[in-house]
Structure 1
Amino acid sequence: MINCGVNSDRVLAYYDLPKGVSIKTAYAHPDDYVKGNFNSLRSVMGYEFDHTRSIKLTNMYRKANQNFDHFYAGNYCNLDGKLSNGNLCNYKGKLKFRRSWQETWNKTYSNTLDLVGKFDTSSIIDDMLIGVEYNIEK
């Protein structure tokens, strides 16, 4: 039985595709459109105070945008002309989806500060890492 009914907000999962329906055609359409750009810049600066203590600062800037359409709310009309919920349909043996257009733009600034130290507790040498991370996404 296919778990994607008329009120579902998701497309059919791979394991729910009817026998004989290829994943190459189930999730793609000749009119599909995807355009994305991704740029990032990362810097790492560190300083070792001595062989037991160090500090590291990592900064990152990331800019991404995407322009695409995607599937949602799909269902399959079986060869008897019915959906998985029993309602009649007129596209026998085919999957049908709603499509939605999505455009996204975001920038992320990320800063991480790590302090590393080694110390002895009797016969055990311990490594300790203390870190702080701060992110902004716009």
Structure 2
Amino acid sequence: MMELQWGKKYRVSAFLLCLMGVLLSACANKSVSGQLSGKSKHWEVALAYQYQDESDGSEKVTVKYLGKDVLVVGNVLVKIKDSSNNTTNHQNVMLDEKGTAIIESVVQPNANPEKKNVQVELQWNGFKEVVSLK
């Protein structure tokens, strides 16, 4: 009889220990992800981001030229500015034959990794447009 009660105590303790481990591991993995997009007269821009924790993150920016003649665009300068005034410059971005370029980056998230009020400035052939992403 004593042996049976002792076994139950261990089972309950082991179950509670496993449950606490699962809860703590879920709290430790603070993943933030999202997507923003916007459009201007000549450009369509989408930003997808995912941050695993405070030191690891990735961003993928897709820019698409909406004009008719993609060949005359040439190299594009893409400047990305977030609400914390962090700016990332991507120079000499080349578009494919469909007028699209994909820029992937590994980034270190700031203290507030949620993206809000992102402005993307595109410069090409002496022209400049700003696309607001929401």
**Fold match by TM threshold 0.5:** no
When you count strand as a share of all residues, which structure comes out higher? Answer: 1
When you count helix as a share of all residues, which structure comes out higher? Answer: 2
TM-score normalised by the chain length of structure 2: 0.28
Larger of the two Rg values belongs to structure: 1
TM-score normalised by the chain length of structure 1: 0.27
